[in-house]
Amino acid sequence: MQYEVDVTKRAIRQLTRIPEEHRKRIFTAIRALEDSETWGDVKKLVNHDYDYRLRVGRYRVLFNMTDDDSLEIQVIRVEEVKKRDNQTY
């Protein structure tokens, strides 16, 4: 299955505040979401505003995904990028 990644303005603004060395790793991990074979550390969230989280070091990429199997390309919408602490989830 093929995926298209869409990053919100909010997530881009959050990414600009992250140190460059971490930002590069996060961008690489987000780009890897387009390939269903190399998702890395993705977990489905329960009772949360977002459907999934991608762990990249101490940062979490929170995203939603279209849930329509009839589409050729699923859309992954990156909503937020946050540093992991006791208030992230």
Encode pLDDT of 3-57 as tens digits: 889 999 999 999 999 999 999 999 999 999 888 767 778 999 999 899 999 999 9
Q: Which two structure tokens, joined as six digits, stand for 47?
A: 């009772």
Measured in residues, the chain has a length of: 89
Nearest to 87 by CA among 34, 48, 44: 48
Q: Are strands 73-83 and 52-56 parallel, antiparallel or unpaired?
A: unpaired
| pTM: predicted TM-score of the whole model, two decimal places | 0.86
Apex 54 CA angle, 48 and 59, nearest 5: 95
Ordered by where they begin, the domains of the chain are 2-83 (3.30.2310.20)
